[in-house]
């Protein structure tokens, strides 16, 4: 069993499709062991995406991620990090496989509905960035 951090992004909360995304998560044997709806501050969003701070899309990304509520979640299951990346689909929905969250719901490469950690090490860092261990319930 391991864990990954998921964020349901503002394009999805605005369209009221968080339940549809959670259904795909649960149908694929990942358990939502923590979940909260928050509004990211600019500082919190910039810290989370610090690795992308030199990318041309960074400012737009921060504007977008702070434009509405997000749902931060901890998902648990076998191979959670890779399993969730598989379910999410490619960053650009044009390249995402049929049946993935991004293929079904993403609007474009930026407004792509979900975030998922890309390694076990980053998953631990990202989970700790949003959650206290006491908020994660097996
Ligand atoms: P992923 O979310 O698939 O791990 P990245 O870590 O590369 O993708 O990028 C983080 C987020 O930044 C993406 O999910 C997307 O919202 C945004 N993004 C990535 N690449 C671009 C781009 N070329 N143009 C606009 N936004 C982008
Ligand atoms: Mg990434």
Ligand 1 pocket test: which of 48, 57, 81 has the largest number of ligand atoms within 8 Å of its C-beta?
Answer: 57
Taking the CA of residue 9 as reference, the ligand 1 atom at the shortest distance is 16
Give pLDDT tens digits for 65-78: 999 999 999 999 99
In tens digits, the chain (138 residues) has pLDDT values of 799 999 999 999 999 999 999 999 999 999 999 999 999 999 999 999 999 999 999 999 999 999 999 999 999 999 999 999 999 999 999 999 999 999 999 999 999 999 999 999 999 999 999 999 999 999
58 Cβ partners below 8 Å, 6+ apart? 49, 52
**The pTM is what?**
0.98
State the Cα–Cα distance between residues 118 and 120, nearest whole angstrom. 7
Cα pseudo-dihedral 70, 64, 41, 120, rounded to 10: 60
Residue 52: active-site member: no
């Amino acid at each position: 069993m391991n864990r990954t951090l998921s964020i349901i992004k503002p394009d999805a909360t605005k369209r009221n499709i968080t339940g549809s995304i959670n259904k795909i998560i649960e149908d694929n044997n990942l358990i939502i062991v923590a979940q909260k709806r928050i509004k990211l501050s600019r500082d919190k969003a910039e810290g989370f995406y610090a690795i992308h701070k030199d990318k041309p899309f960074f400012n737009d990304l921060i504007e977008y991620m702070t434009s509405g509520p997000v749902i931060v979640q901890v998902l648990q299951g076998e191979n959670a990090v890779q399993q969730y990346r598989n379910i999410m689909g490619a960053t650009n929905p044009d390249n995402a496989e049929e049946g993935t969250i991004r293929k079904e719901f993403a609007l474009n490469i930026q407004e792509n509905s979900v975030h998922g950690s890309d390694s076990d090490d980053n998953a631990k860092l990202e989970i700790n960035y949003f959650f206290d261990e006491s908020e994660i319930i097996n």
